[in-house]
Amino acid sequence: MLTIKVLGSGCANCKKLESVTRQAIAKLGIEAEVIKVTEYPDIMKYKIMSTPGLVVDEKVVSSGRIPSEAEITTFLTSALAV
Amino acid sequence: MKLSSLKLFPTTGHPLRSFGWIGLAAVAWLLLYNLIQPLADWLAYSALGLDPASQLGSSVAFFLYDVPKILLLLSGMIFVISVIRTFFSPERTRALLGGKREGLGNFMAAALGIVTPFCSCSAVPLFIGFVESGIPLGVTFSFLIAAPTINEVAIVMLFGLFGWKVAGLYIASGLVIATMAGIIIGRMKMERDVEDFVWQIQSSGSEIFESLTWEQRFARAWESVKEIVGKVWLYVVIGIAVGAGIHGYMPEDALVSIMGKNAWWSVPVAVLMGVPLYSNAAGVIPIVSALMEKGASLGTVLAFMMAVVGLSLPEVIILRRVLKPRLIAVFVGVVALAIIVTGYLFNFVM
């Protein structure tokens, strides 16, 4: 099972990233847990400088933008392949 | 407007193909841009049969010309700016600013504030990332002031409605304000007024540096055009409608006494009024442009614009997470003062 974290303090873009990520998970039909990280000290542990950030199995895959569903699908499948 | 369903760039294919598409889009853009004036005149005066000399006729023609013109300008120029921005990231900007001395560092931070992708919702991680890596507080503030103030939508709309001189003056004064305010804040040595948790975070270290293909750059730029234009187009339309009304119906020189250069209090009042208007920057500019036609002075108008985009309530609230009240107050005070001084300067010089 994948652990996915959405980093962001709850702005509109963070919510959008979360919903796109959930869509990608649902379409792939995989098991994944989506956790929202909203506290800055926790967000900054991932060394990002712009939100929203997306973390798949503790690896930062994007920050400061909302990747497309296709892009997120690639992140997820490559994380599954490891 | 169903922009979200438009997919201009296929994600696979030969890289030259995407340049081909860009070329085609540029030609179509130019054609459209040159067709706006004749089409607007034809619609207003022939199709609707309005009299060019009448108040209604001049208002309608103004509206029909300005709306497509500004929306086209916004789409085209934001695309170009966004492509440039794919070459910059907050991480790269931080690396460029490392070890720069006061003055030069502040100016570079302000200039990089224009080209670095920035959203006020990211102000906190950016602030922490800068300060943690040892960039001085004053230099960090120069960036944080310039990034929202010299805003791409404001630049494009000033260019479209006032011309390149005013847009250039706006950029130059934004740079000066951000540089000076950053130097002043830096000299005040207010490190104690940054929330304590910021200093405990260990965030500097590895970062993701992406290398993008041209196709990906174009695709991302197109995404941001859709996002930004999708967000502001309604404000633009409403703003131009109000502006068109003023253009047609308000008598010439109606505002000279209250917004002209001899009304000394107009600059601070403009700044005070601008602060709460944050999200409506796109709608405010066309109104302001019509007001200027009726006698409002350039300094007052620029000060108002700067206050609208540069000093926003949401950003102040977000920054409160990392700054103690005293530093917040200094930040707002110094920037407001710098904007007021700039406003007076333009009113006296021009």
* B320 lies in some domain: yes
Across the interface, of A9, A50, A70, the residue whose CB is closest to B126 is A50
CA dist., res. B207 & res. B65, Å (int): 47
Across the interface, of A40, A45, A49, the residue whose CB is closest to B321 is A40
Measured CB to CB, residues of chain A less than 8 Å from chain B are 8-9, 11-14, 40-41, 43-45, 47-51, 60, 63-65, 70
The catalytic site residues of A sit at: 11, 14
Nearest CA to CA, how far is A47 from chain B (Å)? 5
- pLDDT category of residue B143 using cuts at 50, 70 and 90: very high
Residue B60 has pLDDT above 70, yes or no: yes
The owner of tokens 């853009």 is B29
Do B349 and B276 form a contact (C-beta atoms < 8 A)? no
The owner of tokens 């208007």 is B277
Within 8 A of B312 by CB-CB distance, chain A residues are: none
Within 8 A of A11 by CB-CB distance, chain B residues are: 119, 121
Across the interface, of B129, B200, B206, the residue whose CB is closest to A49 is B129
Residues ≥6 apart with Cβ < 8 Å to A41: B197, B200, B201
Within 8 A of B128 by CB-CB distance, chain A residues are: 40, 44
Task: Kindly report the number of other CB atoms within 10 A of residue B280's CB atom.
Answer: 15
* B11 lies in some domain: no
For each of the domains in chain A, give its residue range(s) and CATH number, in order of start: 2-81 (3.40.30.10)
Helix, strand and coil content of chain A, in percent to the nearest 5, comes to: 45, 25, 30
What was the pLDDT predicted at B6? 47
What was the pLDDT predicted at B278? 62
ipTM, two decimals: 0.83
Q: What is the pLDDT of residues A38-74, one digit of tens each?
A: 888 888 888 888 888 899 888 888 888 888 888 888 8
B333-350 residues labelled b (16+ CB within 10 A) or e (exposed):
ebbbbbbbbbbbbbbeee
Burial of A68 from C-beta contacts in 10 A (0-12 / 13-18 / 19+) = middle
Burial of B100 from C-beta contacts in 10 A (0-12 / 13-18 / 19+) = middle
Nearest CA to CA, how far is A45 from chain B (Å)? 6
Within 8 A of A12 by CB-CB distance, chain B residues are: 121
Nearest CA to CA, how far is B287 from chain A (Å)? 28
CA dist., res. A65 & res. A81, Å (int): 24
- pLDDT category of residue B204 using cuts at 50, 70 and 90: low
* B211 lies in some domain: no
SS3 state at A38: coil
Across the interface, of A8, A41, A60, the residue whose CB is closest to B208 is A60
Q: What is the pLDDT of residues B219-232, one digit of tens each?
A: 888 888 988 888 88
Report the chain A residue with the minimal C-alpha distance to residue B131.
A49
Q: What are phi and psi of B312, to 5 degrees?
A: -110, 140
Do B108 and B144 form a contact (C-beta atoms < 8 A)? no
Report the chain A residue with the minimal C-alpha distance to residue B94.
A49
What was the pLDDT predicted at B283? 82
* B9 lies in some domain: no
* B206 lies in some domain: no
CA angle B143, B146, B151 (to 5 degrees): 135
CB contact under 8 A, B322 and A44: no
Q: Long-range CB contacts (< 8 A, 24+ apart) of B191-197?
A: B191/B137, B192/B324, B193/B323, B193/B324, B193/B326, B193/B327, B193/B330, B194/B131, B194/B137, B194/B322, B194/B323, B194/B324, B194/B327, B195/B321, B195/B322, B195/B323, B195/B324, B197/A40, B197/A41
What was the pLDDT predicted at B327? 93
- Residue range(s) defining the domain that contains residue B234: 17-198+216-350
Tell me which of B13 and B160 has the higher pLDDT: B160
Average pLDDT over every residue of A20-28 = 88
SS3 state at A52: coil
CA dist., res. B255 & res. B251, Å (int): 9
CB contact under 8 A, A8 and B121: yes
The number of domains in chain B is 1
Q: What is the pLDDT of residues B282-320, one digit of tens each?
A: 888 888 888 887 778 888 888 888 888 888 777 888 888
Highest mean pLDDT pick, A30-34, B203-207, B314-318, B326-330: B326-330
Size of interface A-B (CB pairs under 8 A): 67
* B207 lies in some domain: no
In a mutagenesis test of the B interface, which of A19, A50, A54, A59 is the best target, namely the one with the most B β-carbons within 10 Å? A50
As a whole number, the mean pLDDT across chain A is 86
Counting residues of chain A whose pLDDT is more than 70, the rounded percentage is 100
